[in-house]
Amino acid sequence: MKKQMTINQHYVPQHYMKLWADTSGKVWLHDLAHNIKGKVGTKSVLSDEYFYEDDKNKPTNEIEDILGEIENKAAPVLKAIAELKPDELLKNEMDIHKEICQRAALVLAKAGALEKLLNFISAQLIRTPNIVQQMAKIIKEAPLSSEEREIFTMQNEPSQLVRLGLERIPRHLQSSYEVVLGFSSDTPFVTSDHPVSEFFTSTAEVLPQPVYNLLHETQIMVLFPISPTFHCTLIHRDNKQRLGTPYHSRELSSDSLNGLPISWMWIDEALIYFFRGMHSRFGRKHMISNRDEAALLNN
């Protein structure tokens, strides 16, 4: 029998979470459920028991291996973007943001890099305990027949969700969504145990049905913090022309982007506040930052 690796899952993948760590390897962990905060090593940020196994008594680690491979492939891409520094010769803030987003886009334009990023985003959307809880609520409240409810309930368990999600989500993101990069030099982006956020672009407070609307609607925006300084917003290509401020995407130089749909957006303080606030709400248990976020949580 293969040893079970997934009894306690990391709330946030190690390679990704380390992008928020200080020189000692510690991040600021904010336990939202118990209102506790402090600096901890990334390896100690663990969930309660959470299995990806079809049979817990006969673990195969199949899903753990799949997720681990996706995370390992994405790690160098995320790290390369996170390490980019602003051009000190530039003085205008707009020019600084555009120039560094251009360099981040060039990282994604390298062979296979964008695909690795989108695979990682897809995995983080579908792998978390939060998604199971959201799905369960929808199944309970939906007008379904007994047979339909039974089928959806069977599918709403970790291993099945990961399998089904990774069959469809990455391909859909690659074919239908534009990657819009954003930068912040002062206020850091934060992440959480559910790193990927979905919401309707028409009404930000009305959250869509997890994953379903992403696959079937055009008015869904996907938010993903790459690091404390970089953010990735995914906007459906059929919807981007209808979006105005603050979600207006701006063109980057197409040289060396190999025709990839990558642009950038100006992220002001109000938008940063909104992006950061997503990770303290909607069923999340742990928020990760590179600093004490008491002010964010008190607002």
With respect to residue 293, please indicate whether it lies within any of the assigned structural domains. Answer: no
Residue 37 falls inside a structural domain: no
What is the C-alpha to C-alpha distance for residues 221 and 218, in angstroms, rounded to an integer?
8
What's residue 19's pLDDT?
A: 97
Please check whether residue 49 lies inside any domain of the structure.
no
Identify whether 15 is part of a domain. Answer: no
Q: Give which of 285, 281, 282, 277 is closest to 33, Cα–Cα.
A: 285
Number of domains in the chain: 1
Nearest to 182 by CA among 285, 87, 269: 269
Quote the pLDDT of residue 55.
79
Domain assignment present for 10: no
* Phi, psi (rounded to 5 degrees) for 74: -80, -25
Q: Which domain holds residue 269?
A: 61-70+78-283
Specify the pTM: 0.93
| Angle made by CA atoms 42, 18, 184, in degrees to the nearest 5 | 130
Least confident window among 48-52, 58-62, 73-77, 201-205: 201-205
On the question of pLDDT at 34 being above 70, the answer is yes
Question: Does the CA dihedral 78-82-88-90 come out positive or negative?
Answer: positive
The answer to whether residue 44 is domain-embedded is no
142 within domain boundaries: yes
Residue 18 lies in a domain: no
Give helix 113-126 / helix 93-108 axis angle, nearest 10°: 90
Rounded mean pLDDT of the chain? 89
Averaged pLDDT, 271-280: 94
